[in-house]
Amino acid sequence: MAGRMAGRMAGCALIPFQCRPDRTGSGRHQPGRDGLQQAGVASCAHLVMVYAARPGESIARHDTGKEESMPRFRSLKTHLRALLASAEWEEHLDEIVALPGKGAVGPLLSSLLLGGEAKWRAVVALGRVVARIADANMEDARIIMRRLMWHMNEESGNIGWGIPEAFGEILACHPRLADEYHRILVSYVRETGKDDNYCDHAPLRRGVYWAIGRLAQERPDLPGFVETATPALLAGLADCDLPARGTAAWALGVLATPAALSALPTLGDLRTCDAPVEHFERGRLLLCTVGELAQCAAQRIEAHCPPASGNAMPEADAKGTAA
């Protein structure tokens, strides 16, 4: 059994998993004015703008299920969910992206509430849809980004299920949006002890750590990103929520910067943690453990940045990795 587990961890093998995330807890987060300014947002007025629809434009609510009352919205939502539920869902992404205007955004946001694979597939679709919108009109895309920020705000009355993941996927799909909003994304897991944007709800922090890792996969050379994200991820290894620790470890491994070498002893300690984590990567929803994510992160960091002797993982860990 131990040998089989070691081999599984050595190859970073993860198994497909379907589940609905825990929906308990208040899940509400209230970014303060100082935190917003630090993140690059001048005032809360920027967030409130998301409720102001343009003439003739309606807004689908993400939180309460009170979607647009128009039959077209319900019909489109049903159609999109059927496409994303298909085994060939990735082949339908071009069809979804090709839908005119911003009509797909509301139905896809409502799909984030479904959890499991449905949520993650909606995240992928939102990334591509908003990137297409940004290519056509950056201000329209910015309005959508402010709308996501509003859903992360306690004043909205929402629990932002899936919002951080969608935020990160959008940034991963569009360089200009990544440049403008990556600091805001990181601010949700950067605790300053002051009036900041830090998310108090653990499932949202997991989503933010995943979003940082996803952005790192696509845009590791984004100016200022590594310098902003690395300290937040290092701090995330001590998060009070074990799945959040595992996801922060994974994201740190994706960045694999020299600064991450200091985390190798902590990653070695996490290797034995068997707390389960829902993780999405390469189009698949996976069930893994905190230890497996930490092990994979350590392997990536050591491969990209050979550690000094003082930072190397314990010899037993190295043998387990090579098994």
Domain residue spans of the chain: 2-20+33-322
Asked if 117 and 18 touch (Cβ cutoff 8 Å), the reply is: yes
Q: Which structure tokens are listed for 235?
A: 């701090």
Angle of helix 202-218 relative to helix 175-187, nearest 10 degrees? Answer: 150
- Match domain 2-20+33-322 to its CATH number in 3.90.1200, 2.60.40, 1.25.10, 1.10.4160: 1.25.10
Per-residue pLDDT of the chain (323 residues; tens, 9 = 90+): 444 434 433 344 443 433 334 434 444 444 443 443 344 433 333 332 333 333 333 334 444 344 445 678 899 999 999 999 999 999 999 999 999 889 999 999 999 999 999 999 999 999 999 999 999 999 999 999 999 999 998 776 677 899 999 999 999 999 999 999 999 999 999 998 887 899 999 999 999 999 999 999 999 999 999 999 999 999 999 999 999 999 999 999 999 999 999 999 999 999 999 999 999 999 999 999 999 999 999 999 999 987 565 555 544 443 333 33
Angle at alpha carbon of residue 118, lines to 117 and 121, rounded to 5°: 80
